[in-house]
Structure 1
Amino acid sequence: MKNPLQISRQAFASAAQTGSALTIGNFDGVHLGHQQLLSHVVQTASSKGLVPSVMTFVPHPREYFALREQRPELAPTRVSTLRDKVRALSCCGIRHIHIRRFDQAFAQQTPEQFIEDILVRQLAVKWLYVGQDFRFGSKRRGDIALLREAGARFGFEVETLRDVLDSSGIRYSSSELRHALAYADIERAGEFLGHPYQISGHVVHGRKLGRTIGFPTLNVRVMPRCALRSGIYVVRVNGLTDEPLAGIASLGVRPTVEEDGQVLLEVHILDKNVAAYGKLITISFLHAVRDEEKFPDLQTLTDAIRHDADVARNYFAVHGL
């Protein structure tokens, strides 16, 4: 039987008993490059009798420094929620996820403190897998040489990972994935992920405007600075019935009917009514239809939604669910 997933924000008792095989990263959007390196972590952990583990950060370190310096435009957009990240890491075979809050105290610790307090004492690292350019600790003073030196002293191995390339020789990276999502290139994003881009969340109450114009929607809040371009998408919805459901979704600020600028994901299930409030659903984005628009009146908006729904029906008639 597979060991249960454990999520920690401090020490990890099981790791202290058996030791961990650890990799460190943000893993925002667990793409095929991530999946390959995580597979290596899982295989190595199995061969050495260790716990396959990941340390990840909230928020992204680049986001922390951008906001601290009052330069929010430098913060990376977010590919996935923490829930979706945890689920993706678990699906890759990771059994311990150590979520570290990236704050001033963490940023200011010395490289030696990071090694001794976190890697050795808290996570009982016996094997560490990081990029060749991995830097850590205050002012990024820690490097691979320091890790290898500490490993010899504290009893852990250090292995460095190489870039993973796609069939065109392009390195798999979260930056490339964000670029595809920013341009609504859903097909390219799917190639990077190995599956359609997804967002999960609980269905919340909205203004219920959709039902008054004949298109009731499921409303899901999305993470701040969502990487996906605002627009209309053909989607597949899981979590409401035993089978996936066909839908059309709008991601954006709803400029025709709202002025608060809050991004919301609204999903209309095609030709079916389902009870959904409070349920956790997963929306898979299959095809980009158009950008978000502001319409002059509600009737023009309704006509556009009707056309979008027909586009989605035609998509599913060709491709199926």
Structure 2
Amino acid sequence: MARRFHDVCGFVSELKGNVVAIGNFDGVHRGHQAVLAHATQAAKSAGVSAVVLTFEPHPRTVFRPDQPVFRLTPAPMKAAILGHLGFDAVVEQPFDKAFSAQSAEDFVKGILCERLGVRHVFTGYDFHFGKGREGNPDFLMKAGERHGFGVTLIDQFQDENAEVVSSSRIREALARGDVVEAAGLLGYRYAVSAAVLHGKKLGRKLGYPTANMALPPETELLPGIYAVRYRRADGTLYDGVASFGRRPTIAGDGAALLLETFLFDFSGDLYDEVCTVSLVARLRGEEKFDDLDALVRQMKIDEAEARAVLGSLQPLTPLDAAMTFGPAA
């Protein structure tokens, strides 16, 4: 598990002299993993720690607060994934307009050299930093020469169809409900984490008790019914079927979006636990039924289909094995 630091000021001296990967890394998708793998390999070869420097909140949300970014991996999940990838620490540097206004040279001297004590920096070929984005790749390379650290810039990663893998592309896939495409781009099944809420317990009366989670309002996942893998806080795994939507049959079309997961072969209390739901396949869209009996009949069909999909589930990658099949991070 990677150690989390919420500011460079709290970074510890024993982790200095490190290899640092810099970026937002939202989603930690296959393109990011190409950058990150170079960093962990270099750190291992040099016998030093591997560190990620990222920024919270997402810079786009700071500059466009009326258009918050649909985060693929909030900070805790991002840190967990980075730990699975072999990083020793994650620095979640607070990002605001004052931070963005510092000069590129101050960023290099104050953050990279003094606080982190970098030995080598890995980042994407288009990384910019500092006031007015003055810190371009050429600036970073020359700064490394001046201050005595190495710099490696990694080109864009393309998938099997020669298309660039990006966070935006994954968001677009999720907005279509295509969690299979999203998983192919991420290298693991897309997952969400949240606390289980108390509800009206109608599902229990219908024979389908659900664990209900409220996702951030900027979530752009297409409403519908999904086959899922559910992981409790203690690492226990369950297969299940989840409904993401406004519950039109029960709550009406104007209700808030909610993720409701029915766990197979489970009985117990999940309230207030922070659990993780990995989305494996979208089974159908959200529907409004004439009555509760019709809803229950369809839920039985959804359960059977989800069991069939999940019965032969296999890991996509070692990271997916850890995320979807392994214990809690």
Global fold match (TM > 0.5): yes
Q: Which moved more, 1:14-23 or 1:202-211?
A: 14-23
- Sequence identity, in percent? 36
2:197 and 2:255 map into 1 onto residues whose CA distance is 17
Q: Which moved more, 1:19-28 or 1:294-303?
A: 294-303
TM-score normalized with structure 2 length: 0.85
1:123 and 1:30 map into 2 onto residues whose CA distance is 22
Which position in structure 1 is the counterpart of 2:205? Answer: 212
Which position in structure 2 is the counterpart of 1:225? Answer: 218
For the residue of structure 2 that corresponds to 1:118, the secondary structure is: helix
Structure 1 residue 201, shift from structure 2 partner: 2.8
Q: Structure 2 counterpart of 1:264, which letter?
A: L
* Change over 3 Å in CA distance of 1:178–1:238 after alignment to 2: same
- Structure 1 spans left out of the alignment, 5+ residues: none
Which position in structure 2 is the counterpart of 1:280? Answer: 274
List aligned pairs for 1:10-159, cutoff 5 A: 10-15=8-13, 18-67=16-65, 70=66, 72=67, 75-159=68-152
Please give the per-residue CA displacement for 1:117-143, whole angstroms capped at 9, x wherever unaligned. 211221112211122221111221211
For the residue of structure 2 that corresponds to 1:35, the secondary structure is: helix
Which position in structure 1 is the counterpart of 2:318? Answer: none
Q: Is this contact kept in 1: 2:21–2:52, CA < 8 A?
A: yes
Structure 1 residue 87, shift from structure 2 partner: 0.6
Structure 1 residue 247, shift from structure 2 partner: 0.8
1:33 and 1:76 map into 2 onto residues whose CA distance is 19
2:85 and 2:135 map into 1 onto residues whose CA distance is 28
Which position in structure 2 is the counterpart of 1:9? Answer: 7
* Change over 3 Å in CA distance of 1:16–1:270 after alignment to 2: closer
Which position in structure 1 is the counterpart of 2:307? Answer: 313
2:249 and 2:275 map into 1 onto residues whose CA distance is 26
* Change over 3 Å in CA distance of 1:296–1:104 after alignment to 2: farther
Please give the per-residue CA displacement for 1:109-166, whole angstroms capped at 9, x wherever unaligned. 2212211221122111221112222111122121122222222222111111112222
Q: Which moved more, 1:238-247 or 1:168-177?
A: 238-247
Q: Structure 2 counterpart of 1:37, which letter?
A: V
* Change over 3 Å in CA distance of 1:138–1:5 after alignment to 2: same
TM-score normalized with structure 1 length: 0.87
Q: Is this contact kept in 2: 1:78–1:227, CA < 8 A?
A: no
Q: Is this contact kept in 2: 1:185–1:288, CA < 8 A?
A: yes
2:182 and 2:2 map into 1 onto residues whose CA distance is 30
Q: Structure 1 counterpart of 2:5, which letter?
A: I
List aligned pairs for 1:223-262, cutoff 5 A: 223-239=216-232, 244-258=237-251, 261-262=255-256
Q: Is this contact kept in 2: 1:249–1:268, CA < 8 A?
A: yes
Structure 1 residue 16, shift from structure 2 partner: 6.5
- Structure 2 spans left out of the alignment, 5+ residues: 315-324
Structure 1 residue 241, shift from structure 2 partner: 8.0
1:198 and 1:4 map into 2 onto residues whose CA distance is 19
> How many residues were matched structurally?
314
* Change over 3 Å in CA distance of 1:133–1:158 after alignment to 2: same
Q: Is this contact kept in 2: 1:79–1:228, CA < 8 A?
A: no
2:79 and 2:235 map into 1 onto residues whose CA distance is 23
